[in-house]
Structure 1
Amino acid sequence: MGRPATPANIRNLRRLGAIVLAVAAAVAALWWWQQRTPAAESGYRTVAVERGDIRVAISATGTLSAISTVTVGSQVSGQVTEVLVDFNDKVEKGQVIARIDPSTYQAQIAQGNAQIASAQAQLRQAQASLRNAELDYRRKTALGGQQLVAASDIDLARAARDQAQAQVNAARAQIRQQQASTQTTRVNLERTVIRSPVDGVVLTRSIEPGQTVAASLQAPELFVLAEDLSQMKIELAVDESDIGQVRAGQAVTFTADAFPDRRFKGTVEQVRLSATTTSNVVTYPVVVTVDNSDGTLLPGLTVNAEIEVSKRTGVLKLANAALRYKPADDAAAAGPRAPATRGGSGIAEDLARAAAGLRLDATQQAAFDAAAAAIRQRQAARQAAPQPGGNGLFGGRGFQSGGGNAGGDLQAQLRQRMLERFQQDFAAFRAGLDDAQRRQWDATVAALVGARRTLVYKLVDGRPQPVMVRIGASDGTDTEIAGDVRAGDRIVTGERAAQ
C-alpha cells in the first residue's frame, strides 16, 4: 500500500506543477518569438525605407556688419576744435559732427581778396594804356594817308597798341587766377566743418578736441558711420566644395554666441567670385542679408550659419548605411534572385510631379498623360521580356563608380541615349509649353537623367534582392531615393555574424 498523501506532499506537488507550467510557457514564448521573426532577418541587419523630408544645409561662419558703412575723413589739415558726436549717436545727413580750426583758410581768403583788388587795379591801368595807344595809332594812320608821317612811325604805333591789348588780357587772366585760388580756399574753409554724409549711427570716433589732423597724403579717418542697422549683412566664407550648391535667394539660419537661445534668419543676397586661399583651402564670400528691425544684432558679431541649399518634402529616404552595403560574395549572399528592377517607375513619378508643378492646362495635361502612358506600356513590355546581360537600369550594375575612362564614357553615352529617348517621347508635350514651362521641364529632365544611381538590397522572402535606385539629396544621415521601392521595405545594411 502506498503512503497516504499528506498536506506537505500535496503542497510540493502543486509547486512542482507550477514550475513545470512556467518553464513550458517560457519555451512556448521563445518558440513563438522565433517563428514571428523571419529567418532571414536573423542573418541580415536591415533598415526601413521611410517617407519624410530631406533638408540639405551647408555650414559656414562669418561676421555681421552694416550693409553700408561710411568712413568720414578730413580733406584739410588743422587742429580739431570741436567734436559734436560720440559713439552710438544717431546722426542725420548734413549734420555738423566736428570742426577744424578755420583761421588759416580765413587768412588765405583775405590775402586772395587783396590780390584780386591789386589785379583789378593793374587791369584798369592796362586799359588806360590801351586807349592811349589806340588813339595814337589812329592819328598816325590818318597822317600817313596824307604822306605826313613815315610808315615806320605807323608800324610802331600799331605795335604799341597790340602790346597794350596784351597787357589788358594778362591783367584779366591774373584776376581770374586769383579768383579761382580764392574760391579753392573758400572750399577748404567749408571743409573745416565736418558733416555727416548719410543718416546713420556713429560706430567709431577716432579724434578728440585739440588733436591735429594732417591730410597731406591721405584723408585721415575721423568717424565710421553705419548707414542703417535695421538691415545688416553677413559675409560667410563657404568652402569651394560646397559653393556650387549656393544660389541667391536661399534661406539661411544662424546663431550668435551673444544670443545662444535665439536662432535668426537671413537670405543669400550674393555669391561673390573673389576666391580666397588660406593654407591651401579655397573659400568664396557669400553675402547674406538679415532683418534687424528690433536692433538685437550688433555689428562685428561672429555667427555660425547654415545655408539651406535643398529641401525635399514627402520623399522616400533611406539611411546611408544601406547605400554602402555590398555583399561580400554577391551570388552566395543573395542566392537565387530576380533581376534588379529598372527603376523606371521612379522616374515616371518624378516626371509626373514635375509636370504638376508646371500648372498645365487641360490640353497640356492630356499631352503629358499620352506620353506617360506610352512610356509605361513600353516599360511593361520590356520588363516582361527576358533581360540577358544585365540587371540595372541600363544593364549591368547601374551607374556606380566606373572602372576607368571606358566606364565613364559608357555611362555618359547611356545617359545621352536616355535623354534623347525622353525628348522624343515628350516632344509633343514640350511643344505645347510656354518658354518658362519649357525651361523648367528641360532642367527637370536633365537632372533626372544625370542623377547618380546605385544598387541597394531589398529583403524579399528572406533573400536580399538587388534593386537599382536613383540617389537624390542627402543630409548626411539619410538620402533621398527613387526606384522600385516603397515606404516600409526592408533594405539590407549588413550581415549578422554567424551564431
Structure 2
Amino acid sequence: MNRHSAPSRPVRTPARGKRAAWLLVPLLVLGAGFYAWQHRGAETAEGAYRTVTVDRGDIRVGISATGSLSAISTVDVGSQISGQLTEVLADYNDRVRKDQVIARIDPSTYEAQIAQGAAAVANARAALATAEAALRNAEADYTRKSELVGRQLVARSDADLARAARDQARAQVQAARAQIEQQIASTRTAQLNLDRAVIRSPVDGVVLTRSVEPGQTVAASLQAPVLFQIAEDLSKMEIVLAIDEADIGQVRAGQGVSFTVDAFPDRQFRGEVQQVRLSATNTNNVITYPVVVSVDNADQSLLPGMTANAEIEVNHREDVLRVANAALRFRPDEGEIAAPATGGGAGGGMQDALPRIAASLGLDAAQQAAFDAALERLQAQRASRQAAAPSAEGGGGRSVLFGGGPGGRPPAASGSGGMSGAMRQRIQERFAQQFADFTALLDDDRKARWNAAIGALLGARRAPLYLLRDGTPVAVMVRVGASDGSFSEVSGPVAEGEVVITGRTRSAP
C-alpha cells in the first residue's frame, strides 16, 4: 500500500512587508554612511591640530634678579690720627659693644705735644703777668702827669706820651691773654688726638673685617684708613637687586620676594621689597634700577656677601581661567578657519570680572546692593544693544564693549587691547556713570582699587584664540591677563574644559 505524505505549504510574505523592507535598507545604508562621514571629518579635523584644554589654576608672575646679601647698617671704623698700632683688641666675628676699645695707637707723640702745650701756656701766663705790671705802671704815670698838666707843672706833650704808653700796655695785656687762649686751644687739640689714639666701636655689632695688625703704622694724612668693618645687626639683612628698566614699572614696595642661596640650595627664603631707588645705572647701554629687599635673618643662617637668586612676585592670580601660551601664538593660514568670531572679547569677560573685583573689595550690605543694581543695569543695556543689532556684525551684536574681527577672523593681538584711546576713554566714562551710585558709597582706598582694576580691564591685551568645537575650528577673541611664561589668564567667550588649538600635526585640509 502506497502512502503519500501531504505536501507542505509555502509561507507567503505579504507584498506590503516586502516593499517596506526594501525601502529601509538604503535608508540605513545612507544613515550609516553620513554618520561615518561626519565623524571621519571630525576626527580628521581633530587629528590635524595639536590641542590643549582650558583649565583653572593659579598664575604667579615674577621678576628674576640676583644680588648680594649685606647688613642693613655696616660701619667702617677708621683712624683720625696717624701713628703705630700698639694693640688690636678685636678680631673677625667678634661681638663688640658701643664704646668698647678695639685698638690703640702709640700715644707718646701726643703726650709730648700736651706737655709742650702746657709749658707754652705757663710761659704765656708769665708774659701776661709782666704785661699787667707794665700796664699798672703806665696808668700811674699817666695819672700823675695828667694832674701836673692841670697845675701847669709839666708840658702837655709829656701827658700825651704817658697816655700812649698806657694804651700800649693795655694792648700788651690783651695780646698776652690771647696767647694764653691760643696755647690752651693747642693743648686741647693735642688732648683730642690723644683720646683718638684709643679706637672704640661706634655701635653694637659684629666685626666683619679687620684690616690691621699690631705694630702696623696708620697714615691718616688724606683720608681715614679703614681698620675694622662692623655690621650693626645681622638679624636684619638686605639685598640690593638690579632690575631692568622694562620690569621696574611692575615693582612696588611691599611685594613679596623669594630667593635662594648656594649655601642652602634646598631652602627657600622670603623677603619684602623695601625701596625702589631712583638712581639708575647705565651698564653697556642697559639701564637698571636698584631695588632694596629687606630680609629677616633671625636664625643667623644668612651671611653677608652671599649671592641671592631672587624672584619678585609682582602678580599672583588664584583659580583663574588659563590657557597654554602656545595657544595664543597659533595663527591659521588665510581661509583655513572660516568660522565667524564670537563677540564678547571685551564685554562678556568684563562683566564676568566685575563681581570678582567687587568681592575683593570687602563690601558691606549697602555697597553690595548698589553694585548688584549697577551690574543689572549694565547687563540690561547690553541685552538691548544686542537685540537692536542682531546680525549687523556677523551675528555678534557688537557694541563699544565688544570686540571682534570681520570675515570670521579676529584681529591680531594688540598691546592696546584692540581699542583706541578715545574708545577706552568713552567706556571708562560710561562705567563711571553706570556705577556712580556704587562708587559714591566707597571710601578712598576702595575707590582707588576699583578704578585701578577697571583701568586694568580696559587696558588689557586682546588676542585671538582658536577653539575646536565638535571637531570644527572656531575663532574667538579673548582678553589676556597675567602670564607666567607657560600659562596666561584669559577671559571672554571661552569656558573651562574647552579644547584649544596650539599648532598643526600636519597640513590642515
Please indicate the TM-score interval, normalised by the length of the shorter structure: 0.7 to 0.9
Structure 1 stretch displaced more, 291-300 or 336-345: 336-345
Q: d(CA) in 1 for partners of 2:468 and 2:385?
A: 24
Partner in structure 1 of residue 274 of structure 2: 269
Partner in structure 2 of residue 82 of structure 1: 87
Q: d(CA) in 1 for partners of 2:330 and 2:285?
A: 34
Q: d(CA) in 2 for partners of 1:341 and 1:250?
A: 33
The offset of 1:401, in angstroms, is 4.8
Local SS of the residue matching 1:414: helix
Partner in structure 2 of residue 388 of structure 1: 392
The offset of 1:80, in angstroms, is 0.6
Q: d(CA) in 2 for partners of 1:75 and 1:338?
A: 78
Q: What is the TM-score when the length of structure 2 is the normalising length?
A: 0.86
Local SS of the residue matching 1:328: coil
Q: Deviations over 1:73-126 (max 9, x none)?
A: 111111110111111111111000010000000000000000000101111111
Residue among 423, 442, 450 paired with 1:441: 450
Q: d(CA) in 1 for partners of 2:241 and 2:339?
A: 54
Superposition RMSD on alpha carbons, in Å?
2.3
Partner in structure 2 of residue 482 of structure 1: 491
Q: Deviations over 1:177-199 (max 9, x none)?
A: 11001000000000000101111
Partner in structure 1 of residue 17 of structure 2: none
In 2, are the aligned partners of 1:254 and 1:304 still within 8 Å (CA)? yes
Residue among 351, 354, 374 paired with 1:351: 354
- Relative to 1, partners in 2 of residues 1:396 and 1:356: Cα closer, same or farther, differing over 3 Å? same
Find out whether 1:366 has 2:388 as its counterpart: no
In 2, are the aligned partners of 1:237 and 1:283 still within 8 Å (CA)? yes
Q: d(CA) in 1 for partners of 2:374 and 2:170?
A: 95
Partner in structure 2 of residue 220 of structure 1: 225
Aligned partner letter, 1:353: R
Q: d(CA) in 1 for partners of 2:240 and 2:120?
A: 55
- Relative to 1, partners in 2 of residues 1:138 and 1:338: Cα closer, same or farther, differing over 3 Å? closer
The offset of 1:41, in angstroms, is 2.0
Find out whether 1:232 has 2:237 as its counterpart: yes
Q: Deviations over 1:139-197 (max 9, x none)?
A: 22222222223221221121111111101110111100110010000000000001011
**Counterpart mapping for 1:235-314 below 5 A:** 235-314=240-319
Aligned partner letter, 1:267: E
In 2, are the aligned partners of 1:399 and 1:411 still within 8 Å (CA)? no
Local SS of the residue matching 2:243: strand
Local SS of the residue matching 1:441: helix
Local SS of the residue matching 1:334: coil
Find out whether 1:453 has 2:462 as its counterpart: yes
The offset of 1:426, in angstroms, is 1.2
- Relative to 1, partners in 2 of residues 1:448 and 1:399: Cα closer, same or farther, differing over 3 Å? farther
Q: d(CA) in 2 for partners of 1:102 and 1:78?
A: 8
Q: Deviations over 1:188-238 (max 9, x none)?
A: 000000101111111111111111111111111111111111111111122
Q: Deviations over 1:415-471 (max 9, x none)?
A: 122112111211222222222222111111111111111121222333222222111
Q: d(CA) in 1 for partners of 2:232 and 2:59?
A: 39
Q: d(CA) in 2 for partners of 1:310 and 1:92?
A: 43
Local SS of the residue matching 2:375: helix
Q: d(CA) in 2 for partners of 1:233 and 1:478?
A: 32
Identity among equivalent positions (%) equals 61
Q: Could you list the runs of 5+ residues in structure 2 that have no partner in the other structure?
A: 1-35
Aligned partner letter, 2:384: A
Partner in structure 2 of residue 316 of structure 1: 321
Aligned length: 462
Aligned partner letter, 1:361: D
Q: d(CA) in 1 for partners of 2:404 and 2:393?
A: 7
Q: d(CA) in 1 for partners of 2:346 and 2:497?
A: 17
The offset of 1:59, in angstroms, is 1.1
Q: Deviations over 1:299-339 (max 9, x none)?
A: 1111211111110011111100111122212xx33335464
Partner in structure 1 of residue 343 of structure 2: 340
